[in-house]
Amino acid sequence: MDCAADEIDEKQSAKNVSMQESELQTAFFRVFVSIFKAYREFLIFPAGAGAAAAKDAAINDLCFDIAGFLKTHSSSSHLFLTSLMKTQAFQRFVEDRVYPAKDDSNVQFFDESIIAKV
């Protein structure tokens, strides 16, 4: 009977960890929605060059007005935001929006979450 009780406790513990992870992911998602609610105003869409050439150039030059974006946030958050915007993840975030795939459900879900928050 001890084994059965241990197995139940182990399953319950795994369930609790999974629930905590889900709650943590949701909390971070809400923070990012709040931080980037006006991100579209700061996207820079390259003009002229073909899509492939423009995308190659975007790898070297972020298509985002960082200075303008920072002006919309309190100075106490600038260090964090500047560090965040230097990451590969943020570069990918911008590229996915400047050069969207046909059916990018992640971008659509994020944008719909922003609309729901506003």
Query: H or E element: which one contains 19?
Result: helix 2-35
Q: Which pLDDT score, from 0 to 100, does residue 101 have? A: 83
Residue spans per domain, the chain: 1-35, 37-117
Q: Give 10-residue mean pLDDT values along the chain (118 residues).
A: 60 69 90 94 78 52 90 96 95 91 87 87
Task: Give the type of residue at 7.
Answer: E
Has this prediction a pTM greater than 0.85? Answer: no
